[in-house]
Amino acid sequence: MTPFAARIRQMRRARGVTQKEMAAALGVSPAYLSALEHGRRSPPNWAMVQKIIGYFNVIWDEADELQRLATLSHPRVVVDTAGLPDKATALANLIARHIAELDEEELTRLFDELEGILEKKRKVTE
């Protein structure tokens, strides 16, 4: 499941809405919505994310968060390391080979650590 899929499912269930009802309101098939919620589809495009935001009637921070999650939620990631240092390729391959072995706590720790490193780099360049 992707971060976007988990959030959409949580929002839908919290409101007591079925996939069939939500799919009809969005103008998509229940099969599409099910695949989206299970992370078996690419993230929705901007227009679909906007429909979902409108459907749940969320604004500001929550709408921004849904858009951010959609950009982080491609279930099949391709990492192009051509032209990057050899450590970049080694890291990408290490993650690809072993990500399924990591539990939720380990994934969170690695994610937070990498986000922290990238945030520091952004602040330096600003």
**Separation CA 51–CA 62 (nearest Å):** 14
pLDDT given at position 76: 81
pTM of the model as a whole:
0.68
**Separation CA 119–CA 106 (nearest Å):** 20
The two counts, helices (H) then strands (E), for the chain are 7, 0
pLDDT digits (tens, 9 = 90+) for 37-70: 998 888 899 999 999 999 999 989 999 999 999 9
7: buried, middle or exposed (CB in 10 Å: 19+, 13-18, 0-12)?
Answer: buried
pLDDT digits (tens, 9 = 90+) for 103-114: 999 999 999 999
Best CATH choice for the domain 3-71 from the list 3.20.20.60, 3.40.50.10320, 1.20.1260.10, 1.10.260.40? 1.10.260.40
Q: Where are the domains of the chain?
A: 3-71, 86-125
Short-list 112, 35, 30, 18, CA closest to 73:
35
